[in-house]
Amino acid sequence: MSVPLLYAAGGVVLFCLGLYAIFLRVHLLRKILAANVMGSGVFMVFIALAARVPGADADPVPHAMVLTGIVVAVCFTALAVALAVRIEELSGHSRLPRKGEEGA
């Protein structure tokens, strides 16, 4: 297994770990972190694929895409953290309401 492929596989593993956690963890901060782990996994796949041709220079386009992706991820994390803080202020706990708890 070549090095880029190893990194890409690592990225996919990170993606799956994040996916698992985002559904099964209850605390909102854990969910937000899980989303970031998922995102990092995708970015690793991108960067690994940039170096897929052995010997040649790395392809710069995926790097630019990852930079854009990081900007998007930062925006989302900021919004999610702001929402989580507000939810805790209003309801007293940092989790999403369970089925049947949602009032009008």
Q: Which residue has the tokens 């991108």?
A: 46
Name the residue among 5, 6, 35 with its Cα closest to residue 20: 35
Taking CB under 8 A as the criterion, which residues in 76-95 touch another protein? 76, 79-80, 83-84, 86-87, 90-91
- Annotate each residue in 19-38 with x if it binds another protein (CB under 8 A) or - if it does not, as one string: x--x-----x--x---x--x
For 27, the 3-state DSSP assignment is strand
* CB distance 21 to 37 below 8 Å: yes
CA separation for the pair 62, 56 (Å, rounded): 15
Q: Which residues bind another protein (CB under 8 A)?
A: 8, 12, 15, 18-19, 22, 28, 31, 35, 38-39, 41-42, 45-46, 49, 52, 59, 61-62, 65, 68-69, 72, 75-76, 79-80, 83-84, 86-87, 90-91, 96-97, 102-104
